[in-house]
Amino acid sequence: MPETSGSTGRTPETHVIDFRAAERLLDARDPRGAVKLLDSVIAAHPENTAARLLRARAFFAAAQLRPAELEFTIVLEREPDNAFAHFALARTYERQRRPEQAKRHFRLAAALDPKPQYLEAARFET
C-alpha cells in the first residue's frame, strides 16, 4: 500500500501531480484553481518552498495581496537570497500602496540578481 499523507489519502506522487497541474492553471490564468490544488500540497508538505512560492504567485495573480505577502515572506525567511521572491514581494507591496517597503525589496532583488527589470524597478538613481 502506498504511503499517504494525512487523512486525505493523497500520496507524495499525487502532490507532485497537483503541483504541476497548479503550474499549468496559473499559466492558463486560473490562479484560484492553482491555489486550491496547492493548499493540499502545502498542508502535507509545509516545508516545500517551491509550492509556497507558486501559491504566492497565484495569490498575487488573484489579487489576494495579504495571503501573497505572507507566502512571499515565508519563502524569504527560508531563502533570503531569492531575488524573484524579493521582486514579487515588492510588487505586492506596490499594489498595496506601501512604496517604502516595495523599494527595499526591489533593491534587494536587484542587488541579488541584476536583471534589467529588477534594476529598473529598484530605481537606484533616485
Digit-coded pLDDT (tens) for 56-115: 999 999 999 999 999 999 999 999 999 999 999 999 999 999 999 999 999 999 999 999
Residue 125 has pLDDT above 70, yes or no: no
pLDDT of residue 88: 98
H helix count then E strand count, the chain: 7, 0
Q: What is the mean predicted confidence (pLDDT) over 28-54?
A: 97
User: Do residues 102 and 122 touch, judged by C-beta distance below 8 A?
Assistant: no
b/e 92-118 (16+ beta carbons within 10 angstroms → b): bbbeeeeeeebbbbbbbbbebbeeeeb
Digit-coded pLDDT (tens) for 1-16: 344 444 456 787 899 9
- How wide is the angle at C-alpha 51 spanned by C-alphas 47 and 53, nearest 5°? 100
Q: What is the mean predicted confidence (pLDDT) over 31-42?
A: 97
Residue 44 has pLDDT above 90, yes or no: yes
Which pTM value belongs to this model? 0.88
10: three-class secondary structure by DSSP: strand
